[in-house]
Amino acid sequence: MEPLLKVSRLRVEFKSDFGKRTVTDDTAFYVNEGETLGLVGESGCGKSVTVHSILGLLPSNGRIVEGEALFDGKDLCKLSEKELDKVRGKDIGMVFQDALTALDPVFTVESQIAEQLRVHLGLGRAGARERTLKLLEEVGIPDPLSAMKKYPHELSGGQRQRVMIAMALSCGPRLLIADEPTTALDVTIQAQIMELIGEIMKKSRMSMILITHDIGLIAQMADRVAVMYAGQIIEEAGVHELFKNPLHPYTRALLQSAPSIEDGDDRVLKAIRGAVPEDYTDITGCRFAERCECAGSGCELRQEFKQREEGHFVRCHLA
Amino acid sequence: MHESYLGSVIRRFKYHKAGVVSLVILSLIVLAALLAPVLAPYDPNAINPEFSAAPSVKHILGTDQIGRDLFSRLLYGTRVSLLVGFLSTLIATFIGVLLGLIAGYFGGAADMIIMRCTDMVMSFPYILLILVAGAIFEPGMWNIILILGFIDWPGIARLVRGNVLSIKEKDFVHASRIGGMSRTYILFSDILPNTIAPILVFATSVMAISILDEAALSFLGMGVQPPAASLGNMLNGAQSITVLTKLPWLWISPGAVIVLLVVCVNFIGDALRDAIDPSTTKS
C-alpha cells in the first residue's frame, strides 16, 4: 500500500546575512493511512521546519532545495500556491502549540470555522453554522451554542485548544499535523486533549504527524517514531521497537533523560551534555558526535540512514 | 448572557467620559452644520447695514467688516471644515491602508518602492508642500480636499505596514494558510481587521490635522476662497492687528469652533482605541 504522505531527500535552506544555512537535510519519512507518526527531538532540531516546508509555510528567506513530499501521489513541493490552498485545510489540518495566537483575535469562533467550511465544502450560511455547532460538540465544548459567539480570548486555554482542533478537523482532513499540541496546557487538560485526539483518530481513520519533545506522549500516541537531531532524522522505528531497542546513542540518551512513574527515589535522570550545535551546515560527519558517549573513529564520516532491522532505520555506523 | 461585539464596543466607549462628552459635542456641531440652511438667520454672504457690529440680539455673534452675519457664516464655515476634514481623511486613509498592506504583505521590491515614496513625501516641509500644491492647483474647497488627502497618507501607510509585518508572522495567519485560504482572503480578512483599531485611531488624528490644515491654508489665503465661508478664512481677518485687538468677536468664535472640533475628534479617537479592541477587558 502506498503511504499517504511520503517525504524523501528533503533539504531546506535558510538564507541569512551570513550566507546560506541548511536547516534540515536528507529528511525522509512516511505516514500510512490511519497511522500516527511521532516526530521527536530537542528544540531547534528542525521538526517544525520540516512540516512547515512541506506545507509551503516557510518564511520568505527559507526554501526547499531538494527533495519531494508526495501526498496522495501529488508532490506538495511542486504545487503552486493556489493548488496548495486546495490541499491545505481540506486534506491536511494542523493544530498549533498555542491556540491563543493561532486563532484570529478579532473574529468569533463561529466565523473562523464557518469560513473554512464555506471555502472548502461550499456550504451555505445555515449549513456551515450547523456543522460548526456539530464540530464544537464533537470536540467536547460545553454549551457550544454560546461558545460559538465568543472571541478566542473569552475561552479558557483548554477550550481554545479544542476549538483549534475543531477547526483543523472541520473539513474532514486525511492528515492531521499536531505541532506540540499540548505544550501550552497543564497536565490534566493535556490528558483530555490527547484523549480527544486519540478518539477522533480511531473514529475517522485519519493519519497524524505528532510533533513533540515529550517522550511520554509519543509512547502513548504514536505507532511509529522518527527521532530528529540537528536537521536530520537519526532513527526511525515502530514505537515498541524504539523504546525496547533504541539503536542510536542519541535516542538512548533521550530515553534515559525522561522520567518515568516507575522510577525509584534514587534514580538520577541523565542529562545529555552540551547543546544542539547552532550551525550544523558544515558538519560532514555525525552531528551528534561531539556530545556522544560512544563517539570514536568513523564518526567523522558521513553517516548513512540504513535499515538495521525490519522497519528500524538508524543513522549511526556503530549501531 | 453574551453581548454582541457592537454592544461591548459601546460599553467600553462609555467608560471613557471625555470621549462620550466629545461625541455629544461633535454630534451637536455636525448637526448644526448639516442644518445650516435651516438654522442660519441670514444668508451667509448677504451684506447687512451694520459693519463690524458687536454681538447683539439681531446678530448674536456680530457681523464682519463688510456686514455679513457671523453666526450664519460660522455655521456654513463649519460645514466646509468638517467636509474637508472628513473627505481628505477618507482619501488619505484609503491610499495609506492600500499602500501599507501591499508593502507589508508582499515585501521585496513593492515594499522598497512604496516606503521610499512615503519617505519622500514625509521629508518635504509639510506646510510648504501644501502651499505649493495649493498654488499650482487653483485654490478651492475640492482641491484642498484632494491636496490634503494626497499628502496625509504616509503616516497611515507606515502604521499599516508595521502592523502587517507583525501580524503576518502570527500563528493565526499560518493557520489560515494551512486552512487553504487565498492570499487576498488572508490580506483583507485576517490582516486588515486586526489592524483596523490603530487605523481608526490614527485616522481621527489625521482628521484633526486636516481641519487645522484647512484653517491654516485658508488663513493664508490659499484655501477656501471668499465669499464662501470656512473656519480658516473667517480667521483671515485676524491678520490685521486692529481686528485682533478691537474686534475680538471676529476671530474668537471660529477659533473656538476649530479648537473644539480638534479636541473632540482627538478624544473620540482616544476612546475608540480602548473600545474597539475586543481583548481590552477594562469593565
Contact A92/B at CB under 8 A: yes
Which chain B residues are within 8 Å of A81, Cβ to Cβ? 183
A261 or B187: which carries more pLDDT confidence?
B187
Place of cell 551546515: A281
Residue B283 — pLDDT band, cuts 50, 70, 90? very low
CA–CA distances in Å: residue A261 to residues A41, A135, A189, A267, B164 = 21, 35, 19, 11, 47
Mean pLDDT value of segment B238-257: 83
What sign for the dihedral angle of Cα B169, B175, B177, B178? positive
Whether residue A93 and residue B178 make contact (CB cut-off 8 A), yes or no, is yes
C-alpha to C-alpha distance for B206 and B203, rounded to whole angstroms: 5
Collapse the DSSP code of B34 into the 3-class scheme (helix H, G, I; strand E, B; otherwise coil) and give the result.
helix
pTM of the model: 0.75
Mean pLDDT value of segment B44-67: 79
- Strands A232-238 and A224-229 turn out to be antiparallel
Residue range B101-129, pLDDT digits in tens: 999 998 889 999 999 999 988 888 878 88
Q: Answer yes or no: are the C-beta atoms of A140 and A110 closer than 8 Å.
A: no
**What's the confidence (pLDDT) of residue B282?**
44
Residue range A145-167, pLDDT digits in tens: 888 888 888 888 888 988 998 98
B11-36+68-276 has which fold? Answer: MetI-like fold (1.10.3720)
Which chain B residues are within 8 Å of A104, Cβ to Cβ? 172, 176, 190, 193-194
Q: Compare all CA atoms of chain B with the CA of A114 and give the residue at the minimum distance.
A: B179
Q: Which of residues 81-110 of B touch A (CB under 8 A)?
A: 107-108
Which chain B residues are within 8 Å of A150, Cβ to Cβ? 2
Whether residue A87 and residue B182 make contact (CB cut-off 8 A), yes or no, is no
Q: Compare all CA atoms of chain A with the CA of B180 and give the residue at the minimum distance.
A: A85
Whether residue B170 and residue A119 make contact (CB cut-off 8 A), yes or no, is no
Whether residue A101 and residue B193 make contact (CB cut-off 8 A), yes or no, is no
Residue range A248-303, pLDDT digits in tens: 999 988 888 877 777 777 777 788 888 888 778 778 888 888 888 888 888 888 88
**What's the confidence (pLDDT) of residue B1?**
44
Which chain B residues are within 8 Å of A151, Cβ to Cβ? 278-279
Residue B278 — pLDDT band, cuts 50, 70, 90? low
A78 or B242: which carries more pLDDT confidence?
A78
**What's the confidence (pLDDT) of residue A56?**
85
Q: Compare all CA atoms of chain A with the CA of B106 and give the residue at the minimum distance.
A: A60
**What's the confidence (pLDDT) of residue B27?**
94
Comparing A31-40, A258-267, B7-16, B248-257, the range with the smallest average pLDDT is A258-267
Mean pLDDT value of segment B144-171: 90
**What's the confidence (pLDDT) of residue A98?**
82
The distance of A241 to chain B (nearest Cα, Å) reads 33
Domain boundaries, chain B: 11-36+68-276
Contact A105/B at CB under 8 A: yes
Residue range B19-30, pLDDT digits in tens: 999 999 999 999
Question: Choosing among A98, A106, A117, A209, which should be mutated to test the B contact, i.e. which has the most B CBs within 10 A?
Answer: A106
Q: Answer yes or no: are the C-beta atoms of A221 and A241 closer than 8 Å.
A: no
B15 pLDDT above the threshold of 80: yes
- Low-confidence residues in chain A, pLDDT < 50: none
To the nearest whole percent, how much of chain B has pLDDT over 70? Answer: 96
Compute φ and ψ for B162, nearest 5 degrees: -60, -45
